[in-house]
Chains A and B, each alone.
Chain A
Amino acid sequence: MTLHIVVTAKQVLDPETPLSAFSVADNAVSTAGNIPPVVNGYDEQAVEAALRIKEAHGDARVTVISCGTDFALDVIKKPLAMGADELVLLQDAVFENSIDPTMVVAAVTAAIRKLGDVDVVISGRQASDWDNAQVPLGIAESLGWPVATIGRKVEVLDGTVRVERVLPDGHETVEAPLPAVVTVSNELGTPRYPNMRGIMAARRVQPTVWSAADLDIDGTAPAFELVSLKKPERSVQTEMITGEDDADAGRKLALRLREERVL
């Protein structure tokens, strides 16, 4: 039986956007200029994890699911260029990117049900925009599937998934029966770069597009109401320490810290 792996991938503002180009106004975040969005970093790691499983397993297929209102096709096709087989876009005005993960969880859960034969879902540990770190856990609860989070190594064995989880001071290995949801972290390693052949192949793939109606979703109870969104205030008086040269500045720093009784 072909192992069917779903990877969830979100299109996000580039988190490397310089702060000078990042603005918060009218309860929304935007970037100046033409900074293209990216695939959420941890989701590229999720694609990498899926491809490693596919390579180890032989008979496997990787479907990428992304939910949103509007996609930059060349961006969201990157997982295909890396080696994923299919792309399903859940696209509808009601899937607007908001701090509330409820709708995304409902949409992705419905899409996984619609696909029908999914064995394992691999997600990033968190999206770098709203930093919710909960969509995959919500999907697992909605589907009633077991979950293993913050993996640095994911293996599919006979009917189970085995995950090496990153702990604050070490690691642990957990195992869950399939179907299951797994999230991965940057400790998994650098995701592969798409090669020329992958990029060409990705161009030819037509994504499947499903709307809220296709998924039979007619609204979910929102979890939050946004009260305000603003730039955080910082109130630090910085004192730059200079000297004749760098070494001198270093000595002065020590003296200054002593003077301030920090040391």
Chain B
Amino acid sequence: MADALIIGEVTDGAPSSSTLEGIAAARGLGVAQVAVLLPGADAANTASAAIAGGADAVYTVTDSPAADGEFDALVDAAQAAAAQCGARYVIGGKTLTGRDVMPRLAFRLGTALASDCSALELDDTGRLVATRPVYGGNAEASVACLGNPAVASLRPKSVDALTPDASRTGEVLPLAFESNVRTRTLERVEEAGEGVRLENARVVVSGGRGLGGPEPFESLRELADMLGGAVGASRAACDAGWVPSSHQVGLTGKTVTPDLYIAVGISGASQHMAGCSNSRTLVAINKDAGANIFKEARFGIAGDWQKVLPAFMEQLHELLG
């Protein structure tokens, strides 16, 4: 039995950040027992990491397509785990996997998903109340979940993971279930990005439609390299084919929370800001003084990036030696 079930994921041999954030969110609800579903090969190690991260029980899945990340089998596994633990709250992440698995799980459990939530809490009757940005971030909704269980997915990085506590103990429970894989992966192509990973970068330099073409992104790359950062982009720049879509920051792209985010030639549409507004310091360079991005930036220059950027980089060069 558990009060909350986290639909976890394993990345690079450890519980993913979304898993640890989900556990922290469940602990934040103040419930007694938190279980985690963690499909993946190295079950013993990942389970102990999840327990150190705040879980009381871990359902492991090793010998199943779910362990290889097949969505169909993951939905089956999640449904079985939900039935077995009887949790009232089921929480996942809005990750690549969560985008597919969580809505399906919710419908299988007879409800719908509170998707892409920025905060979760319980009201005084124990209903899960989810806060969700909607209309691309131009509005914010709070909904009380009526389903039992309540099913929600969390926007990445909206909750801090707990500090791992290696002295915590918990149960490890191998999960038995039937799976039926119909959508099969034939081929996966990883496009290894250059340099620092966008999601983890301390500095992100992003370009938008205002850059006017692919070449200026080389200057952004140079600036990012100077600061040990990564290059991001708006959807407009990706759609134009100037940079691969793996660079897209925003609602339907990546969520980044760097110390410094520099937006160049980006208007600041809410769907873009959804992916970067939790950056510690946001800097905007845009020639339109009325651009929305200046409402959200800590520092702004209303000017032409073609003039601003070279001088900024030159000065930086001097400062950084």
User: Is A247 part of the contact surface with B, judged by Cβ < 8 Å?
Assistant: yes
Query: For residue A126, which residues in chain B have a CB less than 8 angstroms away from its CB?
Result: 252
User: At the interface with chain B, which of A74-82, A94-102, A111-119, A193-201?
Assistant: A94-102
User: Is A204 part of the contact surface with B, judged by Cβ < 8 Å?
Assistant: no
User: Is A35 part of the contact surface with B, judged by Cβ < 8 Å?
Assistant: no
Main secondary structure of the interface of B (DSSP, over half): mixed
Q: Do A137 and B188 touch across chains, with their CB atoms under 8 A apart?
A: no
Chain A positions 170 through 192: 1 when the CB is less than 8 Å from some CB of chain B, otherwise 0: 11111111001000011100100
Q: Do B106 and A131 touch across chains, with their CB atoms under 8 A apart?
A: no
Q: Do B183 and A146 touch across chains, with their CB atoms under 8 A apart?
A: yes
Nearest CB in chain B: distance from A119 CB, A: 15
Nearest CB in chain B: distance from A26 CB, A: 12
Q: Indicate which residue in A99, A168, A187, A241 contacts B141 across the interface (CB closer than 8 Å).
A: A99
**Chain B 78-123 interface residues, beta-carbon cutoff 8 Å to A:** 96, 99-100, 103-104, 106-108, 110-116
Query: For residue B133, which residues in chain A have a CB less than 8 angstroms away from its CB?
Result: 131, 232
Q: Do B139 and A229 touch across chains, with their CB atoms under 8 A apart?
A: yes
Query: For residue B302, which residues in chain A have a CB less than 8 angstroms away from its CB?
Result: 240, 242
Give the bracket for the number of chain B residues in contact with chain A: 35 or more
Q: Do B300 and A223 touch across chains, with their CB atoms under 8 A apart?
A: no
Q: Indicate which residue in A150, A174, A237, A253 contacts B183 across the interface (CB closer than 8 Å).
A: A174
Chain A positions 229 through 263: 1 when the CB is less than 8 Å from some CB of chain B, otherwise 0: 11110101111111001111111011111101011
User: Is A148 part of the contact surface with B, judged by Cβ < 8 Å?
Assistant: yes
A145 closest partner in B (C-beta): B182
Question: Which residues of B does A touch, CB under 8 Å?
Answer: 72, 96, 99-100, 103-104, 106-108, 110-116, 129, 132-147, 182-193, 227, 235, 238-239, 245-246, 251-252, 254, 259-260, 270-271, 280-283, 289, 292, 294-304, 307-316, 319-320
User: Is A167 part of the contact surface with B, judged by Cβ < 8 Å?
Assistant: yes
Nearest CB in chain B: distance from A180 CB, A: 8
Q: Do A148 and B183 touch across chains, with their CB atoms under 8 A apart?
A: yes
Query: For residue A213, which residues in chain B have a CB less than 8 angstroms away from its CB?
Result: none
Distance in angstroms between the alpha carbons of A130 and B132 in the assembled complex? 9
Distance in angstroms between the alpha carbons of A108 and B27 in the assembled complex? 37
Q: Do B315 and A255 touch across chains, with their CB atoms under 8 A apart?
A: yes
Query: For residue B281, which residues in chain A have a CB less than 8 angstroms away from its CB?
Result: 257, 260, 262
Q: A22-B138, A170-B188, A246-B303 are in contact. Are A254 and B295 (CB under 8 A)?
A: no
Q: Do B107 and A142 touch across chains, with their CB atoms under 8 A apart?
A: yes
Distance in angstroms between the alpha carbons of A225 and B42 in the assembled complex? 41
Q: Do B96 and A100 touch across chains, with their CB atoms under 8 A apart?
A: no
A260 closest partner in B (C-beta): B281
Q: Do A240 and B140 touch across chains, with their CB atoms under 8 A apart?
A: no
Q: Do A171 and B189 touch across chains, with their CB atoms under 8 A apart?
A: yes
**Chain A 117-172 interface residues, beta-carbon cutoff 8 Å to B:** 125-126, 128-134, 137-138, 140-142, 146-150, 162, 166-172
Query: For residue B114, which residues in chain A have a CB less than 8 angstroms away from its CB?
Result: 224
Q: Do B298 and A236 touch across chains, with their CB atoms under 8 A apart?
A: yes
Q: Do B103 and A172 touch across chains, with their CB atoms under 8 A apart?
A: no
User: Is A221 part of the contact surface with B, judged by Cβ < 8 Å?
Assistant: yes
Q: Do B184 and A141 touch across chains, with their CB atoms under 8 A apart?
A: no
List of 9 A-B pairs having minimum Cβ-Cβ separation, nearest first: A134-B103, A246-B307, A250-B311, A246-B303, A250-B312, A223-B112, A254-B315, A247-B311, A146-B182
